[in-house]
Structure 1
Amino acid sequence: RLARSMVLKIKKRDFVEAAVVNGGKPTHILWKHIVPNILPLMIITAASDIGAMMMELAGLSFLGFGSQPPTPEWGLMLNEGRQQLQTAPWLMFFPGLAIFLTVVVFNLWGDSLRDVLDPRQED
């Protein structure tokens, strides 16, 4: 949906209309004018959404809707460690720390990609 909305937005811009008026073929216009303008934003969005997806997967696993017990998953590890919180708190601390660090790394990576790839950013 994001790619389609961006293509429809860019398709109305002047440089694409100029390429159409000059007789450009649709495939040429797509690959030379539209894709280079949407690709950076798609990469930034994908990198930023990885952290949110990991949090959602961990939350579903914590609730028991993810993979089943033989498969190691951080949310499942948190759920299993919750039962021994008083006696062994590290069973919840380390999977929680792993989730936290991974999400922070992917969010920072998405932010740095936006800084590098965003053409609309002014320095």
Structure 2
Amino acid sequence: EYETGCQIEASTPSLDDFLSSTALVQDRKRTESGAQRDAVNLMTIHSSKGLEFPACFLIGMEDHIIPHQRSLKEGTLSEERRLMYVAITRAKQYLTCSMAQTRKRMGKLAKSQPSRFMMDLPKNLYKATRWDAN
């Protein structure tokens, strides 16, 4: 479905295009048949509301992503915090949160900081592990 859509648009697909397309296809499949049991479900935090899974992986748990930098300017930090709550409570048994050590911002590589919401969690509830690319 993804390749066909890109051919129609006559463009070279980017990783962002692929991930967006995949998320939309997953949302449609889940809507048609309910959450898939023996499958990996890729979804947004918003679309995960009301669902639970044995294991969840949250990626991009960095300041400027969650909370989004826009929410800091617009004063909607409490809504972002509620979204984080939704995200972390989808996991029944296992929750893995990850972040990039560096990320491009405005064309320059910048060191990432953990989400301030992660820093709010009691230290006895999680184990931090660092993985180096080397």
Please, what TM-score do these two structures have when normalized by structure 2? 0.24
Q: Which has the higher helix share?
A: 1
Normalising by structure 1, what TM-score?
0.26
**Higher share in strand:** 2
